[in-house]
Amino acid sequence: MEISVLKNSGEDTGRKVTLSDDIFGIEPNDHAIYLDVKQYLANQRQGTHKSKERAEIAGSTKKIKKQKGTGTARAGSIKSPVFRGGGRVFGPQPRDYSFKLNKKLKSLARKSALAYKAKDNGLVVLEDINFEAPKTKDFVKVLNGLSVADKKTLLVLPDANKNVVLSGRNIKNAKITTADSLNTYDVLNADSLLISESSIEKLENLLK
């Protein structure tokens, strides 16, 4: 699969790059995508939720009324869940939501997400971006030149670039990542996937 390389201004450079069919041209596996996205979202959860059960509530342990003769149900503790201010029954407890996935499955999921982007024309290959200083307006200029300023965008760099990251971090719908940190959720969540030219080879080496 061949795709044109664009300048940061949105103009065609006249060059083309060949995308590997083993990555960008595979038949997407929806179940692999589902599992990888599920794991990503699960790993974002802190799991620090907690409510007090009856044994943890502060309150009197005195029997609040006699056992018989009141005409109402038996009650032995003010900390019972049936009373206001009592403990909660089977409330949430701190837990770890993360789970393990095999490397091959995660790799297949990323390939599938990239294949979907390539198939839906949501993939743009750019010249390598490098700013002399961090300036948000320079990053906005790139997005405007590519006509994606009003869309969710994900820019993939070959390596961390401080000036580019600082230039784009305040833009609401723009996210910047590196080839080795690319994940399935971010690829699918973006309307436009912008990949710098040097990132193509790095991605193919990581996912081959």
H helix intervals, the chain: 21-24, 30-44, 103-119, 136-145, 162-168, 184-189, 197-207
Whether the pLDDT of residue 2 is over 90: the answer is: no
Average pLDDT over residues 18-38: 94
What pLDDT, in 10s, does the model give residues 152-201? 999 999 998 999 999 999 998 999 999 999 999 999 999 999 999 999 98
Domain ranges of the chain: 2-46+101-207, 51-91
Distance of CA 188 to the CA centre of its chain: 9
What are the angstrom distances between the C-alpha of 81 and each of 51, 72, 76, 151, 208? 12, 16, 11, 49, 56
**What architecture is the 2-46+101-207 domain classified under in CATH?**
3-Layer(aba) Sandwich (3.40)
Residues 121/159, Cβ–Cβ less than 8 Å: no
pTM above 0.75, yes or no: yes
What pLDDT, in 10s, does the model give residues 32-77? 999 999 999 999 999 999 999 999 999 998 999 999 999 999 999 9
